[in-house]
Chain A
Amino acid sequence: MTTEAAESVEAAGVAPAADSGFLQRYGGSIEYILIPGAALVGALAVFGGFIALYGKNPLDLYFYMYYGAFGTWFSWQNTLTRAAPLILTALCTALPAQLGMVIIGGEGALLIGALSATSAALALQGAAPIVVQIAMVIAGMIGGGLWITLSGGLRQYRGVNETISSLLLVYIALAILNHLVEGPMRDPASLNKPSTREIGAANMIGTIPGTDVHWGLVFGLVAAIAAYILIYHTTFGFAARVAGGNIRAAKIVGLGVGKLILTVCFLAGSSAGLAGMIEVAAVQGRTNANLAAGYGFTGILVAFLARQNPLAIIPVAILLGGISASGGLLQRRLGLPDASVLVLQGIIFVFVLASDALYGRIGFLKGKS
């Protein structure tokens, strides 16, 4: 068998065949775009029907969604600003997924990352902004990283299901945040909305020149690309994927599965923690309950829609950032409740999962085999 034939087999995921037509070669890759795309369209159609039952015109809905997400430069900036934390929280689900783990606690790592970053900034008041910012990045990543490592460690050493433990840790993180923000770390001046003291305007990370989009987007893009290289182009990533495919085989060939799990969970948590740091250093300027805005939960959807591929996460995060950016317009123009974005996200999620059944079953993409 030639290398080319082997490649086409790998790409299409079908039995080897003598002729290598276009579909033969790329049918599998097309599937990865076509099926999620179809799921998205199906979800939008169902959501349109739902809105029609609610007494609104679905065409208006689609128009305002497009307009609010990608219609103007202003809405593009809004979309990209929201995509930044989504890329990072999606990585929190996508990285452990390489090992076959389902981590859904990105929200908790985000909150702990935000708290750690804020603490670092408050401790270093008076230092040069660049020092404070670097300290915030490190603190946020370590805080979030350790939080998810806890889930990974419990799975590895105690056999505790990581899905449930990571979700429980979200509620615990929220309780810790509320406790600190209303108690020990509270700024006495924050009366209506208990918050920590501000990190100071000089320490904010600011926006990309010429735009209103903060630097967090660049952090997200770099993290996604780095994650892609790590998973698909390094020995470490290869080992992780082997362990995810067959844990027993990985143990037989001598891979340290425990170390893999802990490292991957730390990286996953640190990217969600970075999202928390960015929300503090680029948007809120302090830590308070506003940070629990659901980026961690939407990130799960982004990861699944991107089929856990770090590069695919970037466009999907922009798409879902756009959906949430259009929420405000839907409220104002159509009088829809703010939860309509959540409903649409839920419908998309259901469609994407159901569409998993379609892979390898679309006749014309299979080619002759």
Chain B
Amino acid sequence: MFLTLAIPIALISLLVAYAKNRYINFISPYLFFFTGPVLTYFGFINTLTGFNGIDSNKIYFGITFYTVFIAYHLSNKRNEIKKTPVNFIISVLNPLYLFTGPIPNKIINQFRIITPKIILKRLIFIHSDLLLGILFAFILAPVFKQFFYLKESITIIDIFLFGIVFELYVYFNFAGFSFIAAGLMRLLGIKVLQNFNQPFSAKSIVEYWQRWHISLSFILKKLFFEKIKSQLGLYITVFVVFLASAIWHGISYNFIIWGLFHSLMWCMAHYFHKQKFKVLNYFVLAYGIIVGRVIFSEIDSNFLWTKMKIILNIYNWNLNTEMEIPNMGRIGTINFIIASIIISLEVILPRFGFKNYNYSHLKSHFISCLIALYICLVLFNRNGTPVYGDR
């Protein structure tokens, strides 16, 4: 079904790649980049708040991801498209890339006949990415859904708690699905860009953004940052990049505010880093992540404004909470503890000198084996849809 729109878009992008008009060459990548946002503006697809997992029409399946892939290649790899047009089309239409990212930065160019024997051989060493992805997306992420009722509360504690809970939910879900995509691609013999790299190990919000949704950050850097930095200077460029990123998630007030907020946080963190204000940078990191996620999730602008007023009005903070410990059941409680341990290790280990990046501590043979056994025992249908949707 998704091919009904993806094929014509892929063919149009191929034609555009051959265009000789320099205005078309300049503007076309940005037209493709902003296709998704325009569709959100006219209501054809939902915005990416994290609550709109399933979209209304399957013909838009993956559109925000493959249009960004096209934008990047038209902007930076036009010659490669011309050299391998068929591979380019296949890369755009690759369904594994489409369901939730990561957005690929390369055209698939190594086609080998994959026999069942090869697949079996690769399955024997079931890739740790795949196992980690299943653990994250289908077992740990759903645990946090039980706290979503906090979204409606307007006491300051609940607003912050919701920010934390929703951040963790999005992280486990999105990172999980990215790992699954990477693992499946690895089974087919294709190595893809890692999409997450322990974002909570970051020491500042600048570093956090280098570790979160890496594939999109990479493309934003190539499409916007590198092209305008020399003319506009660092801080205005960062503002433009965050605004582009915000609009990519959907055209709505909350994303514009989210873009402005994070560009401000980024600039503050950059300044504090230069001044060596380490503690202040930790504060900006925590505040940016939590408040940023609250803004990100709230598409109702009136309600968002109510929440923002509460956050900013420090002197009138109401310290009550509607938080209740939900009955998660035994397995749910164990999952919650596992999720907490994973996050704690991610936060603590690098601060004690352990340079364990790229989830190396979760990908060792022994841990990977434990994860496989745990998945086998506790996995069941939890309706784990990708938080970034199928748009």
Partners in one complex: no
